[in-house]
Amino acid sequence: MIMRVMVPVITALVLIVVGVFWMFTMLVGANGYNESQGGAILVGNFVLVIITIVVSSAASGLLAHALQKRSGMSPWLVAPISVGAVTVAAIIAIFLIGTIIIIAVDSTRKRPPPQQPPAVNRRGGGR
């Protein structure tokens, strides 16, 4: 019973640390965007981190329970395996889906038109 509670809690704590680091990098990375686009990136990634923490915590608990029941391994061996496997999968999901969010927001970014080079006087005299 305690493993059903502790494994999801440990997974959530690890992913909260990862999520805080991810949000900090998104905050620094959104520096060049205007307020609405930077806000969309931050809100999208915040929702992604929260959903990932909830889903991964539940998945690690279920994985630990299934591994222990099917293999008969010790809970002290099953817990780190399930926490590690689900955490790695969650970090990969955060990185990939977060990158897709950034690309989606960046594709709507309005860029200024390219500057035309100054006209050159081809007649000769310079003035």
Q: Provide, rounded to the nearest whole percent, the portion of the chain with pLDDT above 90.
A: 36
pLDDT on residue 33: 79
Q: Domain extents for the chain?
A: 2-107
Q: Provide, rounded to the nearest whole percent, the portion of the chain with pLDDT above 70.
A: 89
Least confident of 3-17, 59-73, 96-110: 96-110
Helix axes 2-29, 75-107, angle to 10 degrees: 30
Cα 91–Cα 96–Cα 98 angle in degrees, nearest 5: 90
Average pLDDT of the segment spanning 57-86? 90
pLDDT (tens digit per residue) in 61-70: 999 989 989 9
Evaluate if pTM is beyond 0.85. Answer: no
